[in-house]
Structure 1
Amino acid sequence: MSIKVITYEGLKDGPSLVLLGNIHGNEYCGYRGLSTLIRDIDEEKYIVNAGRLIIIPMCNPKANKISKRYVDRDLNRNLFPPKINSKYEDYLANIICPILDSADFLVDLHSFGAKGEAMVMFGGENETETKFARALGFKNYLYGWREFHGISEEDTVYQGTTEYARKSGCRAVTVECGSNSDANSERVAYIAALRAAIHLSILVPPEDPDIETIVYNKNEQQCARITKEVIMRHGMVPVESFTNFQFIKRKQMLCTISDTESIMSECDGYVIMPSEKAIIGDIFFTIAKSCTFPEGKYNN
């Protein structure tokens, strides 16, 4: 089994942008959105103007075929190029990692199991990356994943595509395009990829109002930093069916555990990717604190 890597070279100098879809085999929006973008470029709806555009629409074909997140190793939690290929994803990593090593920018397209709004995840430690993330024109932005988990630059566990790419100086973002079951997530993936390429002047579009349909200006964009993960415990019941990036107030009750114990929100913020299928020991949902966009290093 092989993976398809599409490369477009502009005739003018410019940055290199990598677009990834289907790192997780059961998240189809990236594959479908990028396949549509490839078709539109090939039909010259959009012209490759400068730089290099590399598109891998289906990063994990075998996982896609069996509708699983991954086969042997989650490449968005443990990505590194192994010296010896012993597992299926090892072969994939040795294709994907060298591509990321030479990339200037990365957009990795995903979806999630819960209902709720799309969001862009970025590092928060680099001004160029933050500006790139905001140029995608989404409403919801999240950062602080690496810091919350205490991940060092030497770690490979909890290292996904963006963490790996940043080690080589790449400005990398993840776009969670919506629910796995939401047909619109494919369109969101397409728009995110298209806007990234247009922002970097890699693609030159005709006048197309469709790419503006969900643009939020900077005054409308909202940002949050990860502060807590709620782990599923025996008897834990949410007070309502939360959705992704749902706003919560400080001291708002989120879950009951028993007649005398509950979990309250410690800050104004948002519920991130709640899981109705979580079992004991799994992450039930994440809480992110509402904050301003970071300038350089993390701020409160």
Structure 2
Amino acid sequence: MTASPDFLRIHGYASLQPGPRLMVLGGVHGNETCGTAGIERIAAELDAGSLALLRGQLTMVPVANPLARRRLRREGERNLNRLFRPTAPGAEPADYEARITDLLCPLLDRHEVLLDLHSFQSEGEAFAMIGPRDNQGPLEPFSRAFEEGQLALHLGTPRVVEGWLDIYAAGLAQRAGGRPADDAALAFGWGTNEYMRSRGGYGVTLECGQHEDPAAPEVAHAAILSTLRLLGMIAPDPQRPPPSRPSLLRLVSVTDRLHADDRFVREWATFDPVARGEPIGVRADGSLLGAERDGFLVFPNAEALPGTEWFYFAVESERDLTRKP
């Protein structure tokens, strides 16, 4: 793979007919290449004329973090999908990712829908992640949950996972001995979708599969097409069946890896089911870590650094994405 330059390559398409404004991101993490491949394929199809943008505006960034891609690592200097807010006026960007964020935020400001394409370290099937339900709370007020849910449904994954920022906040409180996290700490939990929601839009993260899964680029490509069809930005596919209803899970907790000698009892995959009390890992002191209740593991990461997320835990959700609240 050739080295990635320190600039963002941005594909922009604008129809003469007004319509939705969609932003698609790939390569937010440098070792996640499927989104890049999917975006490059869509761009080639648009450029060749085999795909036509009928209305609206489409902007795609195939490699959102060039430094991380050049290193083929998750991060450049830090996680781009955290602390995703522009630098305060008059201040200097704190790091490489802050400079990238300062370029991406104005782009997101001009759009109303975000599709952020990712992959994950452990084995497992593709899934979509959505944010909160409609609410006026202080953490993440939101009013477009139905539209966001419809987008997730049309991506065609067998599972959709809801919730992130509230679980992140709970994890911060857990690390602080039960004290609620302050605004500065919570800001680090903001990613691309949280920023888009804060600007009045909505967004879905699509986890296209395991990093090296050869099917993941196809998942990314199909997801962009599905999003464009849902928004009426390209012609519908009369042969495509209506989306089937996926399993919906809700994140309820996150567990950190505390020591380099913490280890899993076996190799886990995302969405592996576990029963209450079933051993998941062994702490460095030899104590067993069991499942808090019946549920599913999400993002188990045997390579997590001490003090970072080791795995998330999810349970079945009662939410119905097909109904307006």
The question of a shared fold, defined as TM-score above 0.5 by the shorter chain, is answered with yes
Kindly indicate whether residue 244 of structure 2 is the aligned counterpart of residue 217 of structure 1.
yes
- Please state how far the C-alpha of 1:249 moved relative to its aligned partner: 2.9
Aligned counterpart for 1:31 among listed residues 5, 12, 36: 36
Aligned counterpart for 1:158 among listed residues 189, 203, 207: 189
> Which string of whole-angstrom CA distances, capped at 9 and with x for unpartnered residues, describes residues 225-282 of structure 1?
1112222245544332110122223343323448984232233321101112134433
- Tell me, what secondary structure is at the counterpart of 1:32? helix
Aligned residues: 291
Return closer, same or farther for 1:267/1:294 CA change in 2, 3 Å cut-off: farther
Looking at structure 2, the residues matched to 226 and 203 of structure 1 have their Cα atoms a distance apart, in angstroms, of 34
Kindly indicate whether residue 49 of structure 2 is the aligned counterpart of residue 41 of structure 1.
no
- Please state how far the C-alpha of 1:207 moved relative to its aligned partner: 6.4
- Please state how far the C-alpha of 1:37 moved relative to its aligned partner: 1.0
Looking at structure 2, the residues matched to 198 and 189 of structure 1 have their Cα atoms a distance apart, in angstroms, of 14
Aligned partner of 1:78 in structure 2 is 83
Looking at structure 2, the residues matched to 152 and 81 of structure 1 have their Cα atoms a distance apart, in angstroms, of 19
Looking at structure 2, the residues matched to 229 and 180 of structure 1 have their Cα atoms a distance apart, in angstroms, of 22
Looking at structure 2, the residues matched to 162 and 24 of structure 1 have their Cα atoms a distance apart, in angstroms, of 15
Identical-pair percentage: 28
Q: Please list every run of 5 or more consecutive structure 2 residues that lacks an aligned counterpart in the other structure.
A: 1-5, 134-144, 170-180
Tell me the TM-score normalized by structure 2.
Answer: 0.81
* Letter of the structure 2 residue corresponding to residue 146 of structure 1: L
- Tell me, what secondary structure is at the counterpart of 1:71? coil
Return closer, same or farther for 1:78/1:188 CA change in 2, 3 Å cut-off: same
> Which string of whole-angstrom CA distances, capped at 9 and with x for unpartnered residues, describes residues 143-202 of structure 1?
111111238988421111000111011111111111111121111111111111111011
* Letter of the structure 2 residue corresponding to residue 264 of structure 1: G
Aligned partner of 1:127 in structure 2 is 146
* Letter of the structure 1 residue corresponding to residue 154 of structure 2: A
- Please state how far the C-alpha of 1:86 moved relative to its aligned partner: 5.0
Alignment of 1:252-271 (within 5 A): 252-257=278-283, 261-271=287-297
Aligned partner of 1:231 in structure 2 is 256
Q: Please list every run of 5 or more consecutive structure 1 residues that lacks an aligned counterpart in the other structure.
A: none
* Letter of the structure 1 residue corresponding to residue 66 of structure 2: P
Aligned partner of 2:166 in structure 1 is 147
Return closer, same or farther for 1:85/1:135 CA change in 2, 3 Å cut-off: same
Which of the two has greater strand per residue? 1
Give the alignment's Cα RMSD to 1 decimal.
2.6
- Tell me, what secondary structure is at the counterpart of 1:45? coil
Tell me the TM-score normalized by structure 1.
Answer: 0.87
Q: Is the 8 Å Cα contact of residues 22 and 58 (structure 1) preserved in structure 2?
A: yes
Return closer, same or farther for 1:12/1:115 CA change in 2, 3 Å cut-off: same
Q: Is the 8 Å Cα contact of residues 167 and 254 (structure 2) preserved in structure 1?
A: no
Return closer, same or farther for 1:34/1:233 CA change in 2, 3 Å cut-off: same
Return closer, same or farther for 1:160/1:222 CA change in 2, 3 Å cut-off: same
Alignment of 1:105-120 (within 5 A): 105-120=113-128
- Please state how far the C-alpha of 1:295 moved relative to its aligned partner: 6.7
Looking at structure 2, the residues matched to 143 and 262 of structure 1 have their Cα atoms a distance apart, in angstroms, of 28
Aligned partner of 1:197 in structure 2 is 228
Looking at structure 1, the residues matched to 220 and 183 of structure 2 have their Cα atoms a distance apart, in angstroms, of 28
Q: Is the 8 Å Cα contact of residues 138 and 216 (structure 1) preserved in structure 2?
A: no
